[in-house]
Amino acid sequence: MKTPARITAFTLFVALSGLPVAASAQSADALAKARAKFAKEPAVAEVVDVAMRYFRVHPEVLDDLRKKAKLRALLPLLATGYRRDVDSFDRLEAQTPVPVNIQENTGFTGNAISVGAVWDLRELVFNPAEVQVFGLIGVQRDIMLEATRTYYLRKQLVLRKLYKPPQDPMAQAALDMRIDEFTALLNVLTGGWFSKQTDA
């Protein structure tokens, strides 16, 4: 009983508003198709999450980088050295009138390797590498904004194509190209993931 009453009320509203019933039914059908298409596509939050992971600026990645930057102070700075000493001595002696020849050749070669470690514990209090990690937050914000803006611009164009497509063939082709453009941008931001999740 509720459904016919709703249909009757909708028909009465259309009749009083001066809109053709067929046009309103066509618009409702177009909106239903749009909703069905959008239901198959990923949500904007999922697209943003994939984009941040693709560009390695996801909050989990940044937190891991900050931890590693702080723990780096526990690692020592290693210094190694190598030394080679060569000492040679040659002596040749001849005596007369009794012929005596003395030839002496002595040599020494030494090799030495040294290894040292130095800890700079000041970085446990303040590590400049952590500041560099915080610099990635700006990149993270830009990717989030770009993915969100591109997602909704594409969605608006798809809705326009389904709900009120242009009658001019040139305008229709231009609209299709704009949808393809924003789809390609979302693929760039997600490493090709977006198209795999949609039928675009």
pLDDT tens digits for 158-175? Answer: 988 888 889 999 999 999
Q: Which residue has the higher pLDDT, 5 or 172?
A: 172
More confident residue, 116 or 106: 116
- Residue % of the chain over a pLDDT of 90: 32
Q: How far apart are CA 157 and CA 166, in angstroms?
A: 11
11 within some domain: no
Residues 163 and 190 in one domain: yes
What is the C-alpha separation between 189 and 194, in angstroms, rounded? 9
What pLDDT is attached to residue 88? 72
Instruction: Assess if residue 13 is contained within a domain.
Output: no
- The label of the residue with tokens 């053709």 reads 20
What token pair was written down for 89? 């001595």
Answer yes or no: do 147 and 191 share one domain: yes
* Tokens at 150, concatenated: 């591109």
- Single-letter code of the amino acid located at 53: R
Does 138 lie in the same domain as 68? yes
CA distance 134 to 18: 59
Are residues 186 and 154 part of one domain?
Answer: yes
Q: Is 5 a member of any domain?
A: no
Predicted TM-score (pTM) of the model is 0.61
Query: Considering Cα of 4, then 7, then 9, then 11, what sign does the dihedral take?
Result: negative
159 and 192 both lie in a single domain = yes
Containing 176, the helix (H) or strand (E) segment is helix 169-190
In this structure, are 134 and 62 located in the same domain?
A: yes
Query: Do 81 and 174 belong together in one domain?
Result: no
Cα–Cα distance for residue pair 75/7, rounded to 1 Å: 73
Calpha distance 46→37 (Å, rounded): 17
| Residues 62-110: tens digit of each pLDDT | 888 888 877 777 788 888 888 888 777 666 666 667 666 666 667 778 8
- Rounded CA-CA distance 110/102 in Å is 27
The reply to whether 179 falls in a domain is yes
pLDDT digits (tens, 9 = 90+) for 20-62: 445 566 677 777 777 787 888 899 999 999 999 999 999 998 8
Tell whether 10 is covered by a domain. no
Same domain, 38 and 94: no
> For residue 128, is it within any domain?
yes
Residue 132 within a domain: yes
Query: 55, 90, 118: which is the final residue of a domain?
Result: 118
pLDDT at residue number 101: 66
User: Within this chain, do residues 59 and 39 fall inside the same structural domain, yes or no?
Assistant: yes
Confidence at 132, pLDDT banded by 50, 70, 90:
confident
88 & 183 share domain:
no
Question: Has residue 8 been placed in a domain?
Answer: no
Q: Same domain, yes or no, for 110 and 176?
A: no
Q: Are residues 94 and 157 in the same domain?
A: no
- Into how many domains does the chain fold? 2
Range of the domain at 111: 74-118
Tokens of 124: 């446990």
Point out the least confidently predicted range of 2-16, 68-82, 144-158.
Answer: 2-16
